[in-house]
Structure formats: C-alpha cells, structure tokens
Amino acid sequence: MKRNLQIKELFLKNFDKPVTELKFKNLYELIVCVMLSAQCTDKRVNLITPNLFKAYPDIKSLANANLSSLKSYIQSCSFFNNKAQNLIKMAKAICENFNGEIPLNEKDLKSLAGVGQKTAHVVLIEWCGANFMAVDTHVFRVSHRLNLSKAKTPEATEEDLTRIFKDNLNYLHQAMVLFGRYTCKAKKPLCKECFLSHLCTSKDKEI
C-alpha cells in the first residue's frame, strides 16, 4: 500500500539509524536496562543504573545478589519488587544454563525470568541489529493513530507492523519509539510539527 510505504520512508528519513536512549556498555548492562525499562522511563533507568552496575558489574555478581540489597538500588523504578526477583532469577539461569553467556536468540532469551517477547526483541535489535519489531506503549499508540494496526495486543500489533514494513524493522522500531515519546505524545501530540501530519487521520489529531 502506497501510504504505508510513504510512512516507512519518512520514518527512515527523519530518524537516521536511531538507537535506544538507554545507556549501557555491554550486553549484560543492556539486558538489565531493558528489563528495568518495562513500564518505566528510559530517563529513570539511566539514573538508577550507574550505582547498580557499580554494585553488580557482571552477570555472576547479579546472580549472587542479596534481594533486599538489589531492591534498594532499583526502588525508584516501577514494579521494583518483581523486577529485582526477575533480575536475580535471570542472572542465575544464565550462569546455570548458558555458562554465564547471555544467549542471543529469541527462544533462549524468552526462557529467562522477566524477559518477554518485547524485551528479547529490544536486546536483539540493539545488540545485533536484528530485523525485529518490538512494540512498547509508544509504538502501540503511534501504529494505531497512523492506522497501521487495529490489533488489541502488542504482539498482534507487532505482527501487523512486521508484515507491513518487512525490513529495516530495527530502525523503524526505534524511530517509532522516539516519535511517540517526543512528537506523537499520548497527551497533546505535536501535530503541527509532525512530518506525518498529511498522512494521519487520527481522531486525536490536533489541528
């Protein structure tokens, strides 16, 4: 469909090979950041992680972490109780089942506590440049406002976007995240500044 192709091209043109705003130095830090970022802002995660990674610099130290101590480092993060438990379980599983090496395939990543499809895809997108789409709240909102999907779940929305866009999914995912975060915001979207305004028929559109 011509309109969908235009949307894709404009995303790729306006966001030149975008990457996540999460700050990380290695694969271990990436997976922890992505797990913490679920239903939490990247900005908040970036405030938490410097001290967290000082205390737990690698997967082994995280696997051996004391739960209460770990919670104290991430308590300003949403759902920190669950996340702390999942981080330790995830690290233990990597040490026990994968010789301390974080797996880089979707099936093995999804076998880890606290790692669902979106988290697995974001890790593979950011670390490997994998041709995956991941649907967070921003991507979900943007894809529905642009009438790219009518699906009720993030997983089904991901299927729609993957079918429509086919390639460059890693860049398109991140472009849609940034677009949703700063332009096509949940409240008061910046429609007058939007490069997709002429292709948008959303009821949320502010003229």
Question: Average pLDDT for residues 173-181, to the nearest whole number?
Answer: 96
For the cut 90, the answer to whether the pLDDT of residue 118 exceeds it is: yes
**Per CATH, which fold does 2-18+132-199 belong to?**
Endonuclease Iii, domain 2 (1.10.1670)
Query: What is the b/e burial string over 63-100, where b = at least 16 CB atoms within 10 angstroms of the residue's CB?
Result: bebeeeebbebbeebeebeebbebbbebbbbbbeeeee
* This prediction's pTM: 0.92
* Residue bearing tokens 């700050």: 23
Look at the block and give the residue holding tokens 């009821």: 203
CB atoms within 10 A of CB 121: 23
How confident is residue 95, by pLDDT bands cut at 50, 70 and 90?
Answer: very high
> Is 83 annotated in the active site?
no
- CB count within 10 Å of CB 193 equals 9
**Residues above pLDDT 90, as percent of the chain:** 94
58 classed as catalytic: no
pLDDT above 80: residue 13 = yes
Mean pLDDT, rounded, of the chain? 95
Question: Which CATH architecture does the domain made up of 27-128 adopt?
Answer: Orthogonal Bundle (1.10)
Contacts for 52 with CB less than 8 Å, ≥ 6 apart: 32, 73, 74
The per-residue pLDDT for 207 is 61
pLDDT, position 203 = 86
Active-site option among 8, 83, 92, 118: 118
User: Stretch 123-152: mean pLDDT, rounded?
Assistant: 96
Would you list the domain boundaries of the chain?
Answer: 2-18+132-199, 27-128
Which residue in 25, 136, 166, 192 is the catalytic one? 136
Provide the pLDDT for residue 1.
82
